[in-house]
Amino acid sequence: MAKVRFEHVRKVYENGYVGVADADFEVGHGEMLVLVGPSGCGKSTLLRMVAGLETITSGTLSIGDRVVNEVSPRERDIAMVFQNYALYPHMSVAENLAFGLRLRGTPKGERERRVAEAAAMLDLGRLLPLKPAQLSGGQRQRVALGRALVRQPAVVLRDEPRSNLDAQLRLSTRVEIAKLHRALGATMIYVTHDQIEAMTLGQRIVVMRDGRVQQIDAPMRLYERPANTFVATFLGSPKMNLLQGPLLERDGALRVRVADGIELALAPSPALQAKLRARVGREIIAGLRPEHLHVARGGDAAALPARVEAVEPVGNEAFLNLRCGGCDLVVRLPPHGLPAAGDELRLGYDAAHMHFFERDSELRIDEDAA
Ligand code: ADP
């Protein structure tokens, strides 16, 4: 197990395309770090640079205390779990598990001990004599993981299974990986474009966009304190509602005018209030997650007029799609006693959970920032 350190790592492809602009962070000893972002944001490029499958244009990459920019993949002591399971079809599960160790000349006794250990951990005992073709997709995933783990590498890398993994299999693999990570304490870097996978697996998450790291933090910190509107809307489903308008101050109270006659009343903390007052007269973006909106009762003077466009019950909850002063909003509600499409209602909001972003930079207006 080892830490991995990126220092101003940059990847420019031969055609001049910047795959990764300036990665500068560390993956801790035994940490499960998840790289997440939309397709093409540079996640796999970053992972492949750690694996040694992609050259590094500039910057320094270290595994443990060793700079590995020029070290070949074989000598990096990493294991990569590929998206296609890449098991040898003519070998049994036991032989697949032992193969890497045999290549490295690990003595037979040691080999058998490690295979037995990995098989026990992954619940593969019964499958050891079988061939890959006789396994289910989930079992093949577990064997692929097992094959990486028997080598006891310093770092385990896993690119997302983009393949036809069904939702159930994704979930069980996720649970499996989380359990394994806890049991082994291996340093793992995991790539996914799936924000749920990122939130549930990552001890920390690196959110990327267009080759650039947007924010690195624990999942709930990212959810509660997104650094910009991209992170705010990327994590969370349905995504955060964003409302834009000029920031006003009336009778000492701060408001955002999102449309003619429609104003959000703000209730910022004292520290944030000072930051917002300095921006009165400018356009800002207010963010509200779907769970922080509700259908208002009679006495809520701050409530906004809205019209129901669509109602989506999903079992344990429901989503209301609303039109409010030219904005489309989504509200998360309990699934009973719902309004109907076409209904006019008043929309309440939890002002204490409002996020604020600058309109031009789209950066969070943060009470803790200098
Ligand atoms: P992700 O894993 O986030 O989907 P990638 O790291 O695979 O994204 O790719 C990042 C960007 O680099 C993409 O826009 C992709 O098209 C580009 N890219 C990847 N490989 C090459 C290459 N060999 N030459 C030029 N551009 C590439």
Q: Which CATH number does the domain housing residue 258 bear?
A: 2.40.50.140
Q: Is the CB of 43 under 6 A from ligand 1?
A: yes
- Asked whether residue 330 falls in the same domain as residue 183, the answer is no
Q: If you measure from the C-alpha of residue 45 to the centroid of ligand 1, how many angstroms do you get, rounded to a whole number?
A: 6
- Asked whether residue 173 falls in the same domain as residue 248, the answer is no
| Residue 364 counted as domain residue | no
Protein residue with its CA nearest to atom 21 in ligand 1: 13
- Asked whether residue 257 falls in the same domain as residue 209, the answer is no
Rounded to two decimals, the pTM is: 0.91
Q: If you measure from the C-alpha of residue 54 to the centroid of ligand 1, how many angstroms do you get, rounded to a whole number?
A: 11
| Residue 365 counted as domain residue | no
CATH number at residue 86: 3.40.50.300
Q: If you measure from the C-alpha of residue 361 to the centroid of ligand 1, how many angstroms do you get, rounded to a whole number?
A: 26
Cβ atoms 288, 358 nearer than 8 A? no
- Asked whether residue 152 falls in the same domain as residue 16, the answer is yes
Q: Is residue 164 over pLDDT 60?
A: no
| Residue 366 counted as domain residue | no
SS (H, E, C) the chain: CCCEEEEEEEEECCCCCEEEEEEEEEECCCCEEEEECCCCCCHHHHHHHHHCCCCCCEEEEEECCEECCCCCHHHHCEEEECCCCCCCCCCCHHHHHHHHHHHCCCCHHHHHHHHHHHHHHHCCHHHCCCCHHHCCHHHHHHHHHHHHHCCCCCEEEECCCCCCCCHHHHHHHHHHHHHHHHHHCCEEEEEECCHHHHHHHCCEEEEEECCEEEEEECHHHHHHCCCEHHHHHHCCCCCCEEEEEEEEEECCEEEEEEECCEEEECCCCHHHHHHHHCCCCCEEEEEECHHHEEECCCCCCCCEEEEEEEEEECCCCEEEEEEECCEEEEEEECCCCCCCCCCEEEEEECHHHCEEEECCCCEECCCCCC
Q: Is the CB of 15 under 6 A from ligand 1?
A: yes
- Asked whether residue 153 falls in the same domain as residue 34, the answer is yes
| Residue 162 counted as domain residue | yes
Query: Which whole number is the average pLDDT over 188-197?
Result: 90
Protein residue with its CA nearest to atom 25 in ligand 1: 13
| Residue 120 counted as domain residue | yes
- Asked whether residue 216 falls in the same domain as residue 127, the answer is yes
- Asked whether residue 151 falls in the same domain as residue 270, the answer is no
| Residue 312 counted as domain residue | yes
Give the tens place of pLDDT for each residue, 327-352: 999 999 999 999 999 999 999 999 99
- Asked whether residue 185 falls in the same domain as residue 258, the answer is no
Cβ atoms 6, 12 nearer than 8 A? no
- Asked whether residue 201 falls in the same domain as residue 270, the answer is no
Q: Is the CB of 16 under 6 A from ligand 1?
A: no
- Asked whether residue 141 falls in the same domain as residue 266, the answer is no
Give the tens place of pLDDT for each residue, 55-109: 999 999 999 999 999 999 989 989 887 655 678 999 999 999 999 899 889 999 9
Question: Higher-confidence residue: 369 or 126?
Answer: 126
Q: Is the CB of 41 under 6 A from ligand 1?
A: yes
Q: If you measure from the C-alpha of residue 256 to the centroid of ligand 1, how many angstroms do you get, rounded to a whole number?
A: 40
Query: Per residue in 322-338, is it b (16+ CB within 10 Å) or e — as a string?
Result: bebbebebbbbbeeeeb
Q: Is the CB of 19 under 6 A from ligand 1?
A: yes
Q: If you measure from the C-alpha of residue 210 to the centroid of ligand 1, how many angstroms do you get, rounded to a whole number?
A: 10
Owning domain of residue 300: 241-358
In which band, very low, low, confident or very high, does the pLDDT at 370 lie, cut at 50, 70 and 90?
A: low
Mutation test residue for ligand 1: of 11, 17, 50, the one with most atoms within 8 Å of CB:
17
Q: If you measure from the C-alpha of residue 19 to the centroid of ligand 1, how many angstroms do you get, rounded to a whole number?
A: 6
Mutation test residue for ligand 1: of 10, 13, 205, the one with most atoms within 8 Å of CB:
13
Give the bridge partners for 27, in sequence order.
Answer: 4
- Asked whether residue 150 falls in the same domain as residue 52, the answer is yes
Query: Which whole number is the average pLDDT over 32-36?
Result: 96
CA–CA gap between residue 257 and residue 263 (Å, rounded): 4
Q: What is the mean pLDDT of the chain?
A: 91
| Residue 281 counted as domain residue | yes
Last residue of a domain, one of 209, 234, 259: 234
Q: How many domains does the chain have?
A: 2
- Asked whether residue 274 falls in the same domain as residue 184, the answer is no
| Residue 307 counted as domain residue | yes
Q: Is the CB of 13 under 6 A from ligand 1?
A: yes
Q: If you measure from the C-alpha of residue 287 to the centroid of ligand 1, how many angstroms do you get, rounded to a whole number?
A: 31
Last residue of a domain, one of 234, 260, 282: 234
Last residue of a domain, one of 207, 234, 261: 234
Quote the tokens at residue 215: 């924010």
Q: If you measure from the C-alpha of residue 17 to the centroid of ligand 1, how many angstroms do you get, rounded to a whole number?
A: 8
Protein residue with its CA nearest to atom 7 in ligand 1: 44
